Amino acid sequence: MKIFIASDHNGHDLKKQIISNLAGYEIISSSLEESPTDDYPLFAFDICTKMNKQEDYAILICGTGIGISIAANKVKGIRCAKVNSVEEVSLAKKHNHANAIAFSSNTSLITALSYIETLISTATDDSARHLRRIEEIIKYEEGAYNEL
C-alpha cells in the first residue's frame, strides 16, 4: 500500500506537514509544480491515475476540498469523499469503499492525520447492499449502466 498525496497552492503547507508526520508509509507526492496560479484538477488527475485503485490511497487538499474531490471522482476507479469529520471518513470507507479523501487546506494537521489513519484502518463493509451499490458505480464507469 502506498499513500499518494497532492494539493494545489492552498494546501501546500498542510501537505508538507502531513508528509513529515506520516511515519511507516510509502508516501508519493504529486510531481506537478505548485504555483499561485495552479489548477487543482491537474493534481487530482496526476496522482489518481498513478495509484493502484485496489491497494493505494489518495489524500487530496485544496481550498475547500470540494473541487479536488470532484476532479478525482472523474478518474475511473476512484471513490473520493470530501470529508469534514472522522465519522465521514469511516463511513466513506465502510459503505463506499473510498480509496481517496479530500479536505480543506484549513484542516488542522492533527485532524488531517486522524482522517488519514481512519481511512487506512477502517475495514470495508462487504454486506450485499454496499457491494451492490459499488457495483452499480463500477458498471456505470464501464458504460454498462441501463437507464431506468
Domain count, the chain: 1
Of 9, 12, 95, 97, which is the active-site residue?
95
Q: Is 62 a catalytic residue?
A: yes
Q: Read off the pTM.
A: 0.94
In 3-state terms, what secondary structure has residue 131? helix
In a domain, 147, yes or no: no
Q: Is residue 77 part of a domain?
A: yes
| CA distances (Å), origin 13, targets 17, 23, 37, 55, 71 | 6, 18, 16, 27, 21
Residue 121 lies inside a defined structural domain of this protein: yes
- The pLDDT tens digits of the residues spanning 13-67 come to 999 999 999 989 999 999 888 888 789 999 999 999 999 999 999 999 999 999 9
Domain assignment of residue 148, yes or no: no
Annotation says 95 is catalytic: yes
| Active-site position among 62, 80, 97, 130 | 62
- CATH classification at residue 34: 3.40.1400.10
Is-contact 45 76, C-beta < 8 A? no
The answer to whether the CB of 104 falls within 8 A of the CB of 68 is no
Give bridge partners of residue 102 from the DSSP assignment: 60, 82
Q: Which domain holds residue 98?
A: 2-141
